[in-house]
Amino acid sequence: MSIDSELKQQALNWIEQDPDQVTKAQLTELLEEAQTDSAALLELQDAFLAPLEFGTAGLRGALGAGPNRMNRVTVLQAASGLAQYLVQQGFAGKKVVIGFDARYNSDVFAADTARVMSGAGLEPIVFSHVVPTPVLAFAIRHSGACAGVMVTASHNPPQDNGYKVYLGDGRQIVSPVDEQISKLIKTVTNVREIVQGDAGKKVSDEVVDTYTSLTSQLITSGPTTEAQRKSVTSVYTAMHGVGWKTLQSVFIASGFAEPIAAPEQRDPDPAFPTVAFPNPEEKGALDIAIALAKKNSVDVLLANDPDADRFAAAASNSTGDWVTLRGDQIGSLLGWWMIERAKIAGSKLSGTFANSIVSSMMLESIAKSAGLRYESTVTGFKWVSRAKNLAFGYEEALGYCVDPKNVIDKDGISAAAMFMEMLAHLKGQGKTLWQVLDELALAHGLHATDQVSVRVTSTDQVAMTMAGIRNTPPTKFGGLQVSSIDDLAIGLGELPKTDAVIIHLAGNDQIQKARVIVRPSGTEPKIKCYLEVVVRGDDLAIAQQTADNELKSLAADARPLLGGGN
């Protein structure tokens, strides 16, 4: 067995410039093992397969040595490319805010980024402790910075880390900015040649205090009394992430009863020991918190993902079973509540409601019935946040923006507070969130959603699957006729081009309409299929059964389409 000479030289060059003694030693050992071990050779080849792609989500990947991994070399390259871009845009001397979560090496990557920014003539200010992503997003505009960097891999597995980039408007970057930064990153071939400065200043504690104050003011200025807010009991899980301290502070300042935090998952732990995937959407991720909620007979379970930009909830239904709400259900409830709370205050909400194409169609109906503008965006909160005059936005993957004036990004802390405010009002009225969902279904049609996803091992598999759908599109899906297909890679209206296909389905006597959307995941090695069925009728039990049956039929047809078998 022999190692390709070019691959060997790439590895040696990497070892020479790597400032991290751990990854340097790992790669040295791997290079040695690869001469006699086929598994080691495959790992080495994968590590140098290609550089991690810098896109609108920044960087994200497994930790380790090599350009196809997250490490100090790739971070230094990314930071240098970003710094060059900012200087070229005329931001020399301006602030860059840098935050980090509790994942392995997040603090190291943040410190490296600060020294690169400083060396390039920018003014880095770095949080002295772990922070939720929405606090970093808030800090950018609050500090008058020209950009921000958050070192996080959000809800990815423990072995991953990532690098999220914002500009001075507090929004994540979009094309063509990502392409321009990517080109500059590729010019950095030897990180030892990057000019590095000092470690920068520390972010003042006032920034987190102001975020807490403004978020709590959103609630205390609302329509509920402190007595109503104190009456709602909750259990909370931070999913081993960084959300607890900030959420605790916001809830106390808002006048809510302090949640009972699941002790096993409350504090940051990069190993995420109690969950297979630290994502509230994953099966079993909320089991510990649900058990605690049952034990304490609380009103609601609240959850954040590890960087606290996403929010999940569960509640007991009429039969006493604890049910986790879908992202679309939370989105519809929050949208309804944003309108309702304004009505109670004697005012009328203005602005735009927005959600991504893969999110439920119900928000559009809710918005339009209230005389609000509605906008559908391509997937990714960076697009939702760009809706004109945004008043409320969400995406089904548990991302919600309820306070765009302060955080124009998804924020799991303020979303949890707004959800609690809604529950406080409903409890005072003797109503449940399930009753509100029923009322929304009667008014706008029962919108039932589901999702099918298939994990993939290569980008080739993704390309083949998407090409197969485009070249040989289905004519029927779940027993319903395909009425039209929108290929977003070609473009649709004013939406930016993206790799997704929307399959519109004609209804029948029972079903008003349905649709299937297929797209590759932007953050995980998955192809996702989003299913939605709309059923109108006065008997919600029959409507739900009709919708459930159709969703099962759609899911059965979706799996082989995605290459996941029957």
* Per-residue pLDDT, 356: 95
Sorting pLDDT into bands at 50, 70 and 90, what band is 162?
very high
Half-sphere exposure of 198 (CA within 13 A, CB side): 5
* Peptide bond just before 404 cis, omega within 30 deg: no
Q: How far apart are CA 206 and CA 62, in angstroms?
A: 34
Sorting pLDDT into bands at 50, 70 and 90, what band is 495?
confident
Q: Are residues 356 and 500 in the same domain?
A: no
Lowest mean pLDDT among 12-21, 39-48, 454-463: 454-463
Answer yes or no: is pLDDT of 15 > 60. Answer: yes
* Per-residue pLDDT, 286: 97
- Of 203, 224, 251, the one marking the end of a domain is 203
Answer yes or no: is pLDDT of 266 > 70. Answer: yes
**Which of 104, 116, 134, 105 has the alpha carbon at shortest distance from 78?**
116
In a domain, 30, yes or no: no
How many domains does one find in the chain?
3
* Per-residue pLDDT, 2: 76
Sorting pLDDT into bands at 50, 70 and 90, what band is 565?
low
Q: How far apart are CA 500 and CA 519, in angstroms?
A: 4
Domain span holding position 334: 209-442
**Which of 507, 495, 492, 501 has the alpha carbon at shortest distance from 546?**
507
Lowest mean pLDDT among 205-214, 245-254, 489-498, 512-521: 489-498
Tell me what the pLDDT averaged over the chain comes to. Answer: 95
Q: Name the strands in the sheet holding 480-487, side by side, starting at the edge strand that comes first in the sequence.
A: 446-455, 526-535, 513-520, 501-506, 480-487, 476-477
Answer yes or no: is pLDDT of 524 > 90. Answer: no
Tokens encoding 36: 């006699």
Tokens encoding 227: 């007595």
* Per-residue pLDDT, 463: 86
Percent over 70 (pLDDT), the chain: 99
Alpha-carbon distances, residue 153 vs 62, 102, 104, 137, 275 (angstroms): 10, 10, 10, 15, 16
Contact call for residues 533 and 550 (beta carbons, < 8 A): yes
The stretch 23-45 carries a mean pLDDT of: 94
In a domain, 307, yes or no: yes
Helix (H), strand (E), coil (C) string for 190-202: CHHHCCCCCCCEE
* Per-residue pLDDT, 485: 94
pTM for the predicted model, two decimal places: 0.94
Answer yes or no: is pLDDT of 245 > 80. Answer: yes
* Per-residue pLDDT, 564: 63
- Of 203, 231, 260, the one marking the end of a domain is 203
Answer yes or no: is pLDDT of 224 > 70. Answer: yes
Phi first, then psi: give them for residue 14, nearest 5 degrees. -65, -45
First vs last C-alpha separation in the chain = 40
Sorting pLDDT into bands at 50, 70 and 90, what band is 561?
confident
563, with CB counted inside 10 A (0-12, 13-18, 19+), is middle
Contact call for residues 329 and 363 (beta carbons, < 8 A): no
| Between 564 and 37, the higher pLDDT residue | 37
User: Would you put residue 51 in left (φ > 0), alpha (ψ -120 to 50) or beta?
Assistant: beta
Tokens encoding 420: 């609690």
Q: Are residues 426 and 545 in the same domain?
A: no
Q: Are residues 164 and 307 in the same domain?
A: no
In a domain, 45, yes or no: no
Q: Are residues 125 and 241 in the same domain?
A: no
| Between 540 and 507, the higher pLDDT residue | 540
Give the CATH number for residue 176. Answer: 3.40.120.10
Give the CATH number for residue 508. Answer: 3.30.310.50
In a domain, 516, yes or no: yes
Q: How far apart are CA 445 and CA 425, in angstroms?
A: 24
- Of 442, 463, 491, the one marking the end of a domain is 442
Q: Are residues 339 and 406 in the same domain?
A: yes
Enter the DSSP assignment of 98.
E
**Which of 172, 166, 171, 133 has the alpha carbon at shortest distance from 308?**
133
* Per-residue pLDDT, 462: 86
Answer yes or no: is pLDDT of 523 > 70. Answer: no
> Which residue reads 């900030």 in tokens?
246
Half-sphere exposure of 71 (CA within 13 A, CB side): 24
The stretch 183-198 carries a mean pLDDT of: 97
Q: Are residues 287 and 393 in the same domain?
A: yes
Answer yes or no: is pLDDT of 70 > 70. Answer: yes
* Per-residue pLDDT, 454: 87
Q: Are residues 59 and 160 in the same domain?
A: yes
Q: Are residues 130 and 221 in the same domain?
A: no
pLDDT digit string, tens, across residues 124-160: 999 999 999 999 999 999 999 999 999 999 999 999 9
In a domain, 423, yes or no: yes
Percent over 90 (pLDDT), the chain: 89
Sorting pLDDT into bands at 50, 70 and 90, what band is 366?
very high
Answer yes or no: is pLDDT of 25 > 70. Answer: yes
Q: Are residues 174 and 199 in the same domain?
A: yes
In a domain, 12, yes or no: no
Length of the chain, in residues: 566
Q: Are residues 227 and 358 in the same domain?
A: yes
* Per-residue pLDDT, 1: 63
What are the residue numbers of the active site? 154
* Per-residue pLDDT, 494: 81
Answer yes or no: is pLDDT of 118 > 60. Answer: yes
pLDDT digit string, tens, across residues 386-411: 999 999 999 999 999 999 999 999 99
Enter the DSSP assignment of 11.
H
